[in-house]
Amino acid sequence: MPTTAYTLATMAKHPTSEHDQEQAQALRKGFGQRIKQLRKVRSWTQKDLASQIEVPFSVLNKYESGINVPPIEKLIALAESLSTSVDFLLTGNQADGNPVHNNRLIERLQVIQHFSPDEQETALTILDALILKHEVSGRVSRFDS
């Protein structure tokens, strides 16, 4: 049977054997490390993230330390605040080979998918122009150094 985010969360909260307890501890530790990594990428303090998910700083600290696992509503809030999936936070597994961590980008692309073909092409042209601008500015800055 494949390991899912649900079974891992259940195991973390209710380990039954010594082996399960070791797995639960490793799960909580990995979970905390992923939260910390995503938080630091955004240059947020623990207090910043704690206020976003509406928990005390000390509670978030226990999540990051691997001491506690949040209830499902806070797990969802963490995933949304960190622009990732609950599955990634719990297991470290990406949905596919090309993960997108920004849920806002995914949501907008899903909306654009329902546009007419002409409007989709316009959106792609705008995205291509932004990508090109970013690539060119990166190359120019290397020459300036």
Mean pLDDT of the chain: 82
Q: What is the pLDDT of residues 110-143, one digit of tens each?
A: 888 888 989 999 999 999 999 899 888 877 666 6
Q: Locate the domains of the chain by residue range.
A: 5-91, 103-144
Count CB neighbours of 12 within 10 A: 21
Alpha-carbon span 39 to 79, nearest angstrom: 11
pLDDT exceeds 90 at position 11 = no
CATH annotation of 5-91: 1.10.260.40
Q: Which one-letter amino acid corresponds to residue 75?
A: L
Alpha-carbon span 47 to 93, nearest angstrom: 27
pLDDT of residue 97: 52
Return the structure tokens found at 15: 């380990």
Q: What value does the mean pLDDT take over residues 18-35?
A: 86
pLDDT band at residue 144 using 50, 70 and 90 as cut-offs:
low
On whether the CB atoms of residues 51 and 13 are closer than 8 A, the answer is no
Q: Which residue has the tokens 């928990």?
A: 55
